[in-house]
Structure 1
Amino acid sequence: MSNQADQLNQRRSGERWAIDWLPYLTDSTRNVGSYTTAVVSPELARIAERLGGHNLVNNSEYPYIADMVADCADWLSRLWHREDHHAPYVAVSGSTEAAMLAGLAALHRWKRTGAGERPNLVASSGAHVCWKRFCTYWDVELRTVEAPGDTVVADPAALARACDEHTILAVATLGYPEHGLFDDVAALAAALRDQGRETPLHVDAASGGFTAPFLSASLPWDFIVPAVVSISASGHKFGQTSLGLGWTLWRDAEHCPQHLWHGADYIGNGKRDIGLTFSRSLAPVAQQAHLFTRAGAFDRYRYDLRDCSSLTATIAAALRGDPDLKVLNDGHAIPVVAFVDRQTGAVERFTSRMGEDGWIVPTYPLECNPRLGQCGRIVVKPGLSTPARDRLMASVLRAIRPQALRL
């Protein structure tokens, strides 16, 4: 007992105990498996420092907040071809909360039809874990569809066949977490239509919502597809903000019931809002507003993403030189290189060698298609310095050709 007390007192004796953890914290730019923003510009860092303590819900204290969020939603409406810029929208803590709110809106809309059976939601088996959580927490049947053969994206016709009159949402993923590839949203909408279904379609665009408009501008995936009733995305991925921002936009008020919106008079003005969280930092929203309103905003996004895609194409070309690896995604639509085993153990061998140089590259079995074995991915995010890019590329080459001279 005394030893435990002594250890506790030692921890409480000063600030050094917390500081001692700092040497063990990896530089976030070294985690090339994460989709989240690793580098913020000096101006975004100043916004975070100045507004990090401002609470997004306190509209009475900071009356500019509502306009800032509305401006961001307006820009997103332009990006995602939403005609009604005044339709419901919300800024939340991240793409998981954003997706769950879209699911809840669909669930409550379905309940009001008087249907008595258990509701269900249809998605690929490789969809984000947030959909498993949503269905578990709100007692919705989750119907998943695996990718056929040696592919990694679910067949749109198979997804449509899994839907019935009790399906609250069919979920299309624009940027799978495992490999970054896109569902064919237009083909899924057409398959539903061919079966006589009016199933609402949600696009989980956590990472693709900020890349498709710039790298795949002609791709029909957003509100231009009539069946799409809601879209969720993450600001802190390729939206380039700091951690803590997700967006949900609905096509119209019909698909987001008003009884889900609640105000709180005790924070000053009782402005009605929707969300699963309450207090959260204003800083990421302010950063998003800055990124949208800077001169040539969309051109800058396009330049940054094309630059990232150029590096991912180079990495993918190098990986194709390893006969033991198969490249699934070369980064043309989203700056992600994903690869699987041709020879058992090849992915783990490669990621282990990358780890020797300090790079974090995840290795995992593919839920979308377990038959393909282990998968790895490298995400190239904006802001990576030229020296860091050079070191990353050198490490990739060394990991593929371990006998080569060190660069």
Structure 2
Amino acid sequence: MVLSKTSSESDVSVHSTFASRYVRTSLPRFEMPENSIPKEAAYQIINDELMLDGNPRLNLASFVTTWMEPECDKLMMSSINKNYVDMDEYPVTTELQNRCVNMIARLFNAPLEEEEAAIGVGTVGSSEAIMLAGLAFKRNWQNKRKAEGKPYDKPNIVTGANVQVCWEKFANYFEVELKEVKLREGYYVMDPMKAVEMVDDNTICVAAILGSTLNGEFEDVKLLNDLLIQKNKQTGWDTPIHVDAASGGFIAPFIYPELEWDFRLPLVKSINVSGHKYGLVYAGIGWVIWRTKQDLPEQLIFHINYLGADQLTFTLNFSKGSSQIIAQYYQLIRLGYEGYRNVMENCRENAIVLREGLEKTGRFNIVSKDEGVPLVAFSLKDNSLHNEFEVSETLRRFGWIVPAYTMPADAQHITVLRVVIREDFSRTLAERLVFDIVKVLHELDTLPARLSAKMEENLVIENNNGKKTEIEVQREVTDFWKKFVLARKAAVC
């Protein structure tokens, strides 16, 4: 006599995951399920859905790091259960954060003595860093206005219309007016002269961007500093500068070391940078560094002791993981100046390869600059038949995620495609992307003829009506590719 097993036992010991009852019904979407399921089934079901996400390394829209060394992955996983805020329990992690702050502050030329501790903190990306920096400027401005007996209810920040959305969030959440310098065709960053003209006695700071998300360009912080010094002398104000170096802060020191944008300029009081961008750490870690202790008001610093010891905290978030902080320290000591410089130079060279390939097609205008974040922003010379959004959508069939977007006011009539070059974007991938873009252009060029052929049944087009066959298109793509590779080899030689 054979004894039958229960359904639950049978699911676990006899059936494969894909033959079990757990994959035969839809999972709840709005309420927790009543019963548990085996861990293998839960893993497989979620893993299968995640396969529909894009490949992070082919997501060329993102500035965020998508690859790290296996040794760093191990460190991150071993510390994933540590809550950074518990400094008394995890003092070494706190020490590693402080080391990162000191290294980054000196990378940005903070005016510090040899062993003087820098003023800064790790944050959840540059968004939190910008919130903290903005609050410090607002509180310092309010304190001064109160002491002078002047109104302090209408603070404003001057920045460009190319500002990242986190600045708009700060202005909205903390009731600060955002005065934006409009862009214009061919000039897609803040004009320092126009920015200084907009400064008034309610301006808590001017925010400059070292690496615009629109086209990667560095704003002229040196000129802004010089013009603002002149205005401060004329008016008696002391309007400071914050540099949003989210993208460019880990680029400029290594490949543009002579560029003055940081604490070498006297009006730069704080700088934020994203460790999870060109700091080469997975999302999300950011840093904010202040020039001196006086630039961070005491009112923003809190003391707590219920975690075991007296601790200082001046972040918006409280609990957060330790993994990214440990990963940042790993990258700083693993790579050093030499390693970061090599990575950034390689990114820049791959951006040049991509830009030259796009230029050789004769179909695009390049709107990014040579000096800046290693990315290529480009637009179609003729978008009367097909636009940049169609190019972006068609590229997804090849696995590439290349964003298309319109510029802010007053350049909103310009549409741009953008490819961000990260550490894990190799020369081979750059060349392959050019190849696929050429294929997409040929496909879009022939698209109207294909549509009309479907609509008009039994239509015979003699000699293909001047249109290229698939074989001819493929031959042209291959010929272009050969010429492009040969040209690159000749340039290297």
Compute the TM-score of the two structures, normalised by the length of structure 1: 0.93
Structure 2 CA distance for partners of 1:67 and 1:191, relative to 1, 3 Å: same
Q: Secondary structure at the match of 2:141?
A: helix
Give distance in 1, aligned partners of 2:252 and 2:210.
8
2:272 matches 1:232: yes
1:35 is the counterpart of 2:63: yes
Q: Deviations over 1:379-400 (max 9, x none)?
A: 1111235654453343244345
Does the aligned pair in 1 maintain the 2:130–2:272 contact within 8 Å?
yes
For 2:87, the aligned partner's letter is N
Question: Structure 2 matches for 1:77-116, cutoff 5 A?
Answer: 77-84=105-112, 85-113=116-144, 114=146, 115-116=150-151
Q: 2:203 aligns with which of 167, 172, 190?
A: 167
Tell me if the contact between 2:405 and 2:416 (Cα under 8 Å) persists in the aligned partners.
yes
Write out per-residue CA displacement over residues 44-100 of structure 1, whole angstroms, 9 at most, x where no aligned residue.
111111112211111111111222111111211221100225242010110010011
Distance 1:336 1:11, change over 3 A: farther
2:368 corresponds in structure 1 to 329
- The structure-2 alpha-carbon separation of the partners of 1:285 and 1:4, relative to structure 1 and needing over 3 Å to count, comes to closer
Q: 1:172 touches 1:183 (CA, 8 Å); kept in 2?
A: yes
Give 1:114-153 correspondences, 5 Å limit: 114=146, 115-116=150-151, 117-153=153-189
Pairing 1:381–2:381 present: no
Give the stretch that moved more between structures: 337-346 or 96-105. Answer: 337-346
* AA at the equivalent of 1:50: S
Match 1:22 to one of 50, 63, 69: 50
Q: Which residue of 1 aligns with 2:411?
A: 370
Aligned to 2:279, the other structure's residue is in SS state coil
Give 1:342's aligned residue. Answer: 381
Q: Note if 1:242 corresponds to 2:282.
A: yes
Amino acid at match of 1:68: L
How much has 1:266 moved relative to structure 2? Answer: 1.7
Structure 2: distance between partners of 1:6 and 1:180: 43
Is residue 320 of structure 1 aligned with residue 370 of structure 2?
no
> Structure 1 residues 42, 6: closer, same or farther in 2, change over 3 A?
closer
Name whichever of 388-397 and 357-366 sits farther off.
Answer: 388-397
Q: 1:330 to 1:148 in 2, by over 3 A?
A: closer
Q: 2:99 aligns with which of 49, 56, 71?
A: 71
The answer as to whether partners of 2:351 and 2:421 remain within 8 angstroms in 1 is: yes
TM-score by length of 2: 0.77
User: What letter matches 2:345 in structure 1?
Assistant: R
Identity %, equivalent residues: 29
Matched AA of 1:61: E
Report the Cα distance in structure 2 between the residues aligned to 1:188 and 1:203, rounded to whole angstroms.
11
Q: Which residue identity does 1:239 align to in structure 2?
A: G
Assess if the C-alpha contact under 8 Å between 1:339 and 1:347 holds in 2: no
**Structure 1, unpaired ranges of 5+:** none
Map of 1:302 onto structure 2: 341
Structure 2 unaligned segments of length 5 or more: list them. 1-24, 444-472, 482-493
Which residue type is aligned with residue 373 of structure 1? I
How far off is 1:346 after superposition?
3.7
Q: Tell me what 1:222 maps to.
A: 262
CA 1:368–1:194 in structure 2 vs 1: closer, same or farther (change >3 Å)?
Answer: farther
1:181–1:9: structure 2 CA closer, same or farther, 3 Å change rule? Answer: closer
Task: Name the CA distance, whole Å, in 1 between partners of 2:171 and 2:28.
Answer: 46
1:398 corresponds in structure 2 to 439
Report the alpha carbon displacement of residue 350 of structure 1 after superposing the two structures with TM: 2.9
Give the partner amino acid of 2:160.
Answer: S
The change in CA–CA distance for 1:4 and 1:235 in structure 2 (over 3 A counts) is: closer
1:371 deviates by 4.1
Structure 2 counterpart of 1:164, one-letter code: D
Residue from 79, 84, 87 that aligns with 1:51: 79
AA matched with 2:399: G
- TM-fit CA distance, 1:323: 4.0
